[in-house]
């Protein structure tokens, strides 16, 4: 069945390559789909997004809902984010809305705040006249072609050409309730195809994160990446090293917390992107003897998807604890070989692995602290005598640590099966039952009794 699946996939790629027309270009004149020919209604949008559109229109500006919300409605998916694009500058937007704050250096954006909901408003982007100049306050690019500063404003036609994928170059107007399609986005949605606008290599060099977005959209929307869009990714994957680690953390969260983490993980590895995000883990996964490690990570992502799709909570601390678990164990073993004690080696390995990972993906401290707790508790789960089991079960990260232990067993770490079964039964018992379980552990788990050497009394001297 695996061979048949691979042959079928190869055939689809060959057929797709024959049908691929090369780079997709945005048109100067869009295809306008009138209200009578599409299924989009204002009722499907956030009321606050509609307020923003009308206030911009009443202020004399052009304004459109753009991108993901239009795409999702056309696909029958309930939209979550509502992005607005306008020909008003960020300063002009701020003058119209008292609840506006301006953010961003690379590209200035306006956030219109309605309680917990934020409507993002962007000024239409234009083309770069010059990609050099340190003296240009609006535009700057690196030697690799990556845009470092992008405050160049333009028309809606130019903005469409600057969009990343054709399925995101769709604009909805409240003036006539029509949809403007500048790059064949409607056709791409019908064909279920992810395709970049413009030359793929140039667009990836402008912003390497587009490679991660291509993967995320393909799995999220159940679409194929067009051959011309797919082919440069493996070669250009090292460009992710130029992206700030904090931004890559945000992108990995989107990849791992969207209910498609397992599919994203497999595609990231296939395209050579995963090693740019977690190089120490990928080095381990590439080894032939690392079947357990591969199964562990894939099972972790599968469990994460099941929880998210079941509307259960998932903490990023658990995900990153799992992703760095094998690099941590490998580093700790290496330090022990150098004569460092087991405990000290484990502590040093934690600091080193987290520090090295922060050079690629900057995980915030609130999550690294959680990962540390999960790792520490793994070392203490077999110490259950006396009050230890009870005290350990009260730790804030105990439930996540218990789930981590179950994941280890589920992935094939059979020597931990008895320990996992004991904790599973322990958590089912009342206080009396838990005490009985601890008493029945046997002598081997009891701490050795320590005897203090009492000082000898000096003999009384006869007076």
The pLDDT averaged over each successive group of 10 residues in the chain (463 residues) is: 39 42 71 89 92 95 93 91 93 94 84 94 78 47 52 86 92 92 93 95 94 96 96 96 95 96 97 96 95 97 96 95 97 95 95 96 96 96 93 95 97 95 96 93 56 60 59
- Is residue 218 helix, strand or coil? helix
Task: Give the pLDDT score at 442.
Answer: 67
Residue 317, token pair as written in the block: 């601390």
The predicted pLDDT at position 133 comes to: 46
In 3D space, the residue among 366, 370, 375, 374 whose CA is nearest the CA of residue 332 turns out to be: 375
Condensed to tens digits (0 to 9), the pLDDT of residues 375-393 reads 999 999 999 999 999 999 9
Does the pTM surpass 0.95? The reply is no
Q: What's the pLDDT at 107? A: 76
Q: Could you give the CA distance from residue 346 to residue 334 in angstroms, rounded to a whole number?
A: 10
* Residue 123: per-residue pLDDT: 93
The CA-atom distances, in angstroms, between 322 and each of 262, 375, 450 are 14, 9, 37
pLDDT on residue 255 = 97
Strands 117-123 and 83-86: parallel
Rg (CA), the chain: 28
**DSSP character at residue 132:** -
Angle between helices 316-323 and 291-309 (to 10 degrees): 170
Inter-residue contact 426 to 389 (CB < 8 Å): yes
Q: Which domains does the chain have, with CATH numbers?
A: 26-197 (3.30.460.10), 285-443 (1.10.3090.10)
**How far apart (Å, rounded) are the C-alpha atoms in residues 182 and 160?**
6
Identify the DSSP state of 167. G
Place of tokens 């990836």: 204
For CA atoms 286, 290, 292, 293, the dihedral sign is negative
* Cα separation values, 366 from 34, 228, 362, Å: 49, 40, 12
Three-state secondary structure of 208-271: CHHHHHHHHHHHHCCCEECHHHHCCHHHHHHHHHHCCHHHHHHHHHHHHCCCCHHHHHHHHHHC
Residue 424: what pLDDT?
A: 96
Q: Which residues are catalytic?
A: 81, 83, 164
By C-alpha distance, which of 6, 9, 24 is closest to 229? 24
430 vs 409: CA distance, rounded Å: 25
* Residues counted in the chain: 463
Instruction: Provide the pLDDT for residue 143.
Output: 56
d(CA 10, CA 4): 10
């Amino acid at each position: 069945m695996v061979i048949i699946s691979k042959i079928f996939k190869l055939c689809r790629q060959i057929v797709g390559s024959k049908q691929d027309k090369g780079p997709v270009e945005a048109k100067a004149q869009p295809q306008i789909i009138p209200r009578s020919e599409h299924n989009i209604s204002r009722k499907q949008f956030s009321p606050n997004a509609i307020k923003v559109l009308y206030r911009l229109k009443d202020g004399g500006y052009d304004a459109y809902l753009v991108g993901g919300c239009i795409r999702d409605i056309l696909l029958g998916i309930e939209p979550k984010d509502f992005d607005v694009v306008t020909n008003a500058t960020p300063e002009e937007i701020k003058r119209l809305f008292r609840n506006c704050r301006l953010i961003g250096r690379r590209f200035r954006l306006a956030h219109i705040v309605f309680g917990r909901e934020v409507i993002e408003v962007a000024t239409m982007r234009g083309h770069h006249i010059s990609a050099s100049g340190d003296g240009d306050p609006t535009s700057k690019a690196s030697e690799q072609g990556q845009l470092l500063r992008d405050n160049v404003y333009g028309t809606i036609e130019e903005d469409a050409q600057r969009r990343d994928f054709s399925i995101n170059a769709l604009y909805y107007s409240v003036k006539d309730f029509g949809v403007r399609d500048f790059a064949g986005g409607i056709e791409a949605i019908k064909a279920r195809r992810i395709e970049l606008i413009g030359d793929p290599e140039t667009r990836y060099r402008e912003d390497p994160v587009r490679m991660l977005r291509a993967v995320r959209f393909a799995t999220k929307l159940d679409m194929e990446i067009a051959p011309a869009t797919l082919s440069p990714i493996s070669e250009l994957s090292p460009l992710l090293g130029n992206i700030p680690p904090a931004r890559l953390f945000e992108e990995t969260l989107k990849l791992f917390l969207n209910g498609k983490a397992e599919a994203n993980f497999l595609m990231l590895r296939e395209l050579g992107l995963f090693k740019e995000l977690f190089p120490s883990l990928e080095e381990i996964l590439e080894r032939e003897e690392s079947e357990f490690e591969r199964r562990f990570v894939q099972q972790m992502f599968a469990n994460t998807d099941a929880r998210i799709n079941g509307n259960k909570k998932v903490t990023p601390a658990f995900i990153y604890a799992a992703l760095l678990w094998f690099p941590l164990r490998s580093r700790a073993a290496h330090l022990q070989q150098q004569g460092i004690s087991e405990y000290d080696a484990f502590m040093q390995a934690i600091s080193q692995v987290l520090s090295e990972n922060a050079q690629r993906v900057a995980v915030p401290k609130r999550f690294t602290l959680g990962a540390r707790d999960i790792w520490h508790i793994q070392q203490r789960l077999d110490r259950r005598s006396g009050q230890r089991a009870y005290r350990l079960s009260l730790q804030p990260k105990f439930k996540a640590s218990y789930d981590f232990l179950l994941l280890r067993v589920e992935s094939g770490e059979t020597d931990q099966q008895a320990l996992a079964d004991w904790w599973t039964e322990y958590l089912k018992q009342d206080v009396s039952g838990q005490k009985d379980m601890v008493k029945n552990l046997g002598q081997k788990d009891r701490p050795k009794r320590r005897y203090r050497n009492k000082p000898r009394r000096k003999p009384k001297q006869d007076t």
